[in-house]
Amino acid sequence: MTGVFIIGLFAVLMAVGVPVAGALGLSALIYMAVMTSIDPILVVQQMINGSDKFTLLAIPFFIMAGGFMERGGISSRIVQFAKSVFSPLPGGLALVVIGSSMIFASMTGAGAATAAAIGSIMLPAMRREKYDDDFGCALQASAGIFGPLIPPSILMVLYGVATNTSVGDMLLSGVFPGLFLGVVMAGVTISLCLKNGYRGEGRLSFREIASSFVHAFFALLTPVIILGGIYTGIFTATEAAAVAALYSLIAGGLIYRELTWAKILDIAFKSCKLAAGILFIVAATQAFGWVLTRERIPQLVGEFFSNISSNPVIFLFAVSILLLIAGCFLDPVPAIMIFTPILAPPAMKYGINPIHFGVVMVVALCIGLITPPVGMNLFVVSSLSKRPIHAIVPKLWPFIISMIAGLVAVILFPGLSLWLPEKLG
C-alpha cells in the first residue's frame, strides 16, 4: 500500500501541474514526513548524491555543443551536403531531412535540438517544393528522434549513470540501432513519396557532392572527433562532450565565422538553464528512487512480471508497451530516470544484458517524442511551421508504426545493440 501511496502522490502532483522535478522531490519528502520517522534532510542528501557524479558533466557540454552547431553554421552545411547526396532520389528532400537529422544527431544527443536545427532549414524548403506541410512536419518530428538515440546521447548517459553501466559502451550500443531505424524510416518515406508523387530534383553529381563535402568538411568532422575519440579510448564520454563543445565553438566562430560574442553568451546562458533543469530532475529522481527501493518496488515489479512469464523477451515487450504509454505523457529525460531504477533490477534477474535493456528503453522512450499529447518534437515542428498539432498527427502514423516495428527488431536481435560494444569494449 505504501508503494501505491508514493506513486499515486507523484501522479496527483503531476496532474495538478507541478513540474516533474518538483513532483519527484515532494513525493519523497512527503513520504518521509508522513510514512516514516526518517529525518527529511535525507531527501537533500540523496539529491546531492544523485547529482554529484563526474559523468553527468557530459550533459551541459553536449547541450552547449548542440547550441554552437545550430547557430554556428554547422547545421546548414550538413543540410547542403545531404541535399547533394539525396535530392536526386525519389522524395529527395524528404530523404535529406532524415540524412541531415541523423548526421546532426551524431553531434548533439537531443531530439528537440535536432528537430529545431534541421527543421528550421528543411520545412521552408519542402514547402517551396510543394510538399504537403503536415507530411513535412510529421517527417521532421520523426527524424528528430535520432537525437537521443545515435551517440552521443543524453539518454544513454543518464541510463549509464543510473545503472552504473559504462557510458562509453552505452554510446556505442546506439550506433547500429540508430542506423537501422534510419533505414526503416527512409524505406517508409520513399514509399510515401512515390505514392504522393514527390519526385527527386536534379541529377546525381559527384562534383556537387565533392564541393558540398569540402564546404561541410569541418562540420562533418565533428562526429568523427567525438565518437572516434571515445571508441579509440583517447578520452572518456565526459571528456568527449567538452571536446565537442570546444570544437563546435572553434568551427562556428573561427572557421565559419557565424558565431558572435552575443550568440556565444546567449547559447551559454540557455545551455546552462536547460542543463540545470535536467540535472535537477536527475537529483530529484535519486531521492524518489531511494524511496522506491526502500519500499521494494523494483522487487515487487520483478515478482509481478515473473508470475506472468519467465521469458525475458515477453518481459522486454511488456516493458516496451509500458514505456510507449509513459512516453505519451512524460519527456524521455524524466522518464528514463523514473523507470530505470524500477525496471532495471528485474531485467537483470531475467538475465538481460544491461546494455541491451538500456537501448530498448531509449528506443521506446524516443518514440514518445512524437506521440501526443506531450511529444516534444511535435511542439517544435508545430512552432516552426505554424501548423496545429492535430493536423500533423494523422501524418505521423506510418512513422510511428515503422519505429515500433524497429523497436521489435531491436528486442528480438540483441546483436544490434551489443555487437559494437563487445568488439570495441
Q: Where are the domains of the chain?
A: 54-424
Whole-number Å distance between alpha carbons of 338 and 147: 20
pTM above 0.75, yes or no: yes
Quote the pLDDT of residue 255: 82
- Read off the C-alpha cell for 208: 556537387
Whole-number Å distance between alpha carbons of 320 and 367: 11
What is the DSSP secondary structure assignment for residue 38, as one 8-state letter?
Answer: S
User: CA torsion sign, 14 to 16 to 22 to 24?
Assistant: negative
Whole-number Å distance between alpha carbons of 369 and 283: 23
Whole-number Å distance between alpha carbons of 148 and 246: 21
Whole-number Å distance between alpha carbons of 172 and 14: 34
CA-closest candidate to residue 63, choices 105, 101, 102, 110:
110
Quote the pLDDT of residue 123: 82
Quote the pLDDT of residue 353: 92
Whole-number Å distance between alpha carbons of 101 and 146: 7
Answer yes or no: are the C-beta atoms of 79 and 187 closer than 8 Å.
no
Answer yes or no: are the C-beta atoms of 136 and 127 closer than 8 Å.
yes
Sequence-distant (≥ 6) Cβ neighbours of residue 76 within 8 angstroms: 121
Quote the pLDDT of residue 354: 92
Whole-number Å distance between alpha carbons of 62 and 183: 25
Whole-number Å distance between alpha carbons of 248 and 68: 6
Cα 197 versus chain centre, distance: 32
Q: Give the DSSP H/E element, type plus range, for residue 360.
A: helix 354-367
Whole-number Å distance between alpha carbons of 4 and 297: 9
Identity at 371, one-letter amino acid code: T
Sequence-distant (≥ 6) Cβ neighbours of residue 148 within 8 angstroms: 109, 110, 111, 154, 155, 156, 332, 362, 365, 366, 369
Identity at 47, one-letter amino acid code: M
Sequence-distant (≥ 6) Cβ neighbours of residue 3 within 8 angstroms: 292, 295, 296, 297, 300
Whole-number Å distance between alpha carbons of 54 and 231: 19
Burial (Cβ within 10 Å: 0-12, 13-18, ≥19) of residue 133 = middle
Identity at 194, one-letter amino acid code: L
Whole-number Å distance between alpha carbons of 294 and 382: 42
Whole-number Å distance between alpha carbons of 84 and 106: 19
CA-closest candidate to residue 324, choices 407, 389, 261, 241:
407
Whole-number Å distance between alpha carbons of 225 and 285: 32
CA neighbours closer than 13 Å in the CB half-sphere of residue 205 = 12
- Read off the C-alpha cell for 247: 570544437
Mean pLDDT by 10 residues, the chain (425 residues): 71 78 81 75 75 75 79 77 77 81 74 75 80 87 83 82 83 86 90 81 75 81 78 77 85 83 87 80 78 73 75 90 82 81 86 92 87 77 82 88 92 89 75
The SS3 of residue 210 is helix
